Chain A
Amino acid sequence: RKEVEQDPGPFNVPEGATVAFNCTYSNSASQSFFWYRQDCRKEPKLLMSVYSSGNEDGRFTAQLNRASQYISLLIRDSKLSDSATYLCVVKRTTDSWGKLQFGAGTQVVVTP
């Protein structure tokens, strides 16, 4: 079983709609969580970190559920430019250093 799992999608979303998807992690020692966005054939770029209390950045809301070991990303009022692959990244700690684990990504396609 992969340490970080995501629904690959694609999630087909009408423009203006809301879409949400999760990422599950298997290692309870995981400490830090991030969402990255990757556009076609370009490098992944940090979208937002995920904090324990949940956080919001404009139309994007991230949540962390430690009990069930998953994080979520919600996109409101979807724009065509939101079409991308969203990568979940989990960092777990071992002694004094951390190790990043990447999910395989969830593809979102926003349609007119």
Chain B
Amino acid sequence: AAGVIQSPRHLIKEKRETATLKCYPIPRHDTVYWYQQGPGQDPQFLISFYEKMQSDKGSIPDRFSAQQFSDYHSELNMSSLELGDSALYFCASSLGRLIEGEDTEAFFGQGTRLTVV
């Protein structure tokens, strides 16, 4: 079965550069969540989208922005990168709509490991 696809898997950027992370949800999933996990830390919720609109916002810095496109894939844009942005970035997808008989669990991608040097 198709899973959540994230690209790239690894990314190295210099300070003050920009980065774009992509997330392709499981087919038919309309909700996407972004998480940041620093070394030795728990995943921190950044932002989520449902039906191409932002549904919730967490601890996402103003330097970051995200959107969900018409095909439901999502991109996380990160500008003016700082050393502290080095982390594992996870994307998860789920069905936001409640459809009887449908699973509502969220499935995670393998993550993008961003290193800022």
Query: Hey, which chain A residues are within 8 Å of B90, CB to CB?
Result: 43-44
Query: Hey, which chain A residues are within 8 Å of B110, CB to CB?
Result: 42-43
Contact B109 A105, beta carbon cutoff 8 Å: no
Chain B interface residue bracket vs A: 20 to 34
CB proximity of B90 to chain A, nearest CB, Å? 6
Given contacts A32-B104, A34-B105, A44-B108, contact A98 B33 (CB under 8 A): no
Q: Mark A92-112, 1 if CB is under 8 A from B, else 0.
A: 010011111010110000000
Contact B43 A45, beta carbon cutoff 8 Å: no
B98 within 8 A of A: yes
Contact A100 B88, beta carbon cutoff 8 Å: no
With a 10 A CB-CB cut-off, give which of B37, B105, B107, B111 has the most chain A CB atoms: B105
B64 within 8 A of A: no
Further pairs besides A43-B111, A98-B104: 6, Cβ < 8 Å: A8-B42, A43-B108, A43-B110, A97-B98, A100-B33, A102-B45
